[in-house]
C-alpha cells in the first residue's frame, strides 16, 4: 500500500461561488474511495480539478508523490488517471470494440507512419490490443456487444463501455462519476460487484455516487462534501452515523 492521492487545501471558485472550498484528504492505492454529497456539493468539480479538466484556484494535488496540480488532461492520463463522466461520453457512432481500442492508444508504441506501413510488429501489436480489449469487455460482461454500435446500446451498457474505454489505458486510478445513474436496481447491484472485481485487477477506484447504500457497501473510505466543504472523511460505518452527514442529506431531501 502506498499513498496515491494527496489533496491539500484544494479550492475551485466559479465567479465567486466556492464550488470546492479548502478540501484536504489522502487516498491510498489499495482502496475504493467514495465521494458522497447532495447535488451541487462539488463532487464533479473535485474530479475535474484532480484530472485537469478544471484548473484549481487554490491548493495542490499530488499523485504518487508527484505534483500534478497544473498538468493538463493528456498529462494526467499519462500519469495513470482515467475517468468516466456523469453524462456518458462514448463515441456513439463507433463500435464497442473501437471505443475500447481508442482508449488504449496511449499504450501503443507504433507511430503514425508505421500504422500505414503495417509492419509485422505493428500487426502483432494490433492483435494484442484487440485481445486485450476483448479481455476488458469480458470482465465487464459486455463481450457479446463488441461489434455493435455503442450509441445503439441501452444506457446501462453504454456506461460499461465508457468504463471499458477508461480501463483500456491501464490506469493506476480509475475515477467513476455517478456510474449507476440511470441504471435499474439489478444493473446497479451488478455494477457494484464489477467495480469490486475491477479493483482486484489493479487500479484504485474513486467513485462518486448519490446512492448511499451502494457506497456504504462498496467503499473503504468515504468523503462527504456539502456546499464545497469536506464535512466527513472516514470509514463507511462512521460516515453513516455522522450527524453532520445525516443533516446534509435530510436537509437536501427536504428542499
Contact residues for 3 (Cβ-Cβ < 8 A; gap 6+): 26, 27, 28, 29, 64, 65
Contact residues for 15 (Cβ-Cβ < 8 A; gap 6+): none
Q: Which does 186 bind (CB under 5 to 8 A by kind): Mg ion, ligand ADP, none?
A: none
Tell me if 155 sits within 8 A of 183, measured CB to CB. yes
Q: CB nearer to ligand ADP: give 133 or 183.
A: 183
Which helix (H) or strand (E) element contains residue 63? strand 58-63
Task: Tell me the three cell numbers of residue 169.
Answer: 489505458
Q: Strand, coil or helix: what is 90? A: coil
- Within residues 22-61, the interface with ligand ADP by CB under 6 A covers 37, 39-45
CB of 188 to ligand ADP, least distance (A): 18
Instruction: Return the residue of 14, 138, 217, 241 that touches ligand ADP, per CB under 6 A.
Output: 14
Q: Which does 124 bind (CB under 5 to 8 A by kind): Mg ion, ligand ADP, none?
A: none
Q: Which does 14 bind (CB under 5 to 8 A by kind): Mg ion, ligand ADP, none?
A: ligand ADP
N residues, the chain:
255
Q: Which one of 3-11, 14-22, 64-72, 188-196 is the stretch in contact with ligand ADP (CB under 6 A)?
A: 14-22
Q: CB nearer to Mg ion: give 44 or 180.
A: 44
CB of 10 to ligand ADP, least distance (A): 12
- For residue 106, what is the DSSP state? G
| Interface contacts to Mg ion, rule CB under 5 A | 43-44, 86
Q: Which does 95 bind (CB under 5 to 8 A by kind): Mg ion, ligand ADP, none?
A: none
CB of 65 to Mg ion, least distance (A): 28
Q: Strand, coil or helix: what is 80? A: coil
Q: How far apart are CA 98 and CA 101, in angstroms?
A: 5
Q: Which of 31, 34, 26, 36 is nearest to 63 (CA)?
A: 26
Contacting residues toward ligand ADP, per CB under 6 A: 14, 17, 19, 37, 39-45
Amino acid at each position: 500500500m502506498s499513498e496515491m492521492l494527496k489533496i491539500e487545501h484544494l479550492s475551485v471558485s466559479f465567479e465567486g461561488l466556492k464550488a470546492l472550498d479548502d478540501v484536504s484528504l489522502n487516498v491510498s492505492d489499495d482502496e475504493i474511495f467514495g465521494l458522497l454529497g447532495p447535488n451541487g456539493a462539488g463532487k464533479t468539480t473535485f474530479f475535474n480539478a484532480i484530472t485537469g479538466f478544471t484548473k484549481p484556484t487554490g491548493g495542490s494535488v499530488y499523485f504518487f508523490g508527484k505534483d500534478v496540480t497544473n498538468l493538463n488532461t493528456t498529462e494526467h492520463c499519462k500519469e495513470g488517471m482515467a475517468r468516466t463522466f456523469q453524462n456518458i461520453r462514448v463515441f456513439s457512432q463507433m463500435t464497442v470494440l473501437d471505443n475500447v481500442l481508442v482508449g488504449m492508444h496511449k499504450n501503443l508504441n507504433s507511430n503514425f507512419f508505421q500504422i500505414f506501413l503495417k509492419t509485422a510488429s505493428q500487426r502483432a501489436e494490433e492483435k494484442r490490443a484487440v485481445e486485450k480489449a476483448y479481455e476488458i469487455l469480458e470482465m465487464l460482461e459486455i463481450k457479446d456487444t463488441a461489434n455493435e454500435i455503442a450509441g445503439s446500446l441501452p444506457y446501462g451498457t453504454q456506461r460499461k463501455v465508457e468504463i471499458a474505454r477508461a480501463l483500456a489505458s491501464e490506469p493506476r486510478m480509475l475515477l467513476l462519476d455517478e456510474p449507476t445513474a440511470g441504471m435499474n436496481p439489478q444493473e446497479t447491484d451488478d455494477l457494484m460487484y464489477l467495480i469490486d472485481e475491477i479493483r482486484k485487477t489493479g487500479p484504485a477506484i474513486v467513485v462518486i455516487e448519490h446512492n448511499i447504500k451502494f457506497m456504504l457497501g462498496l467503499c473503504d473510505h468515504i468523503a462527504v462534501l456539502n456546499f464545497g466543504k469536506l464535512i466527513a472523511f472516514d470509514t463507511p460505518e462512521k460516515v453513516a452515523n455522522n450527524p453532520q452527514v445525516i443533516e446534509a442529506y435530510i436537509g437536501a431531501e427536504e428542499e
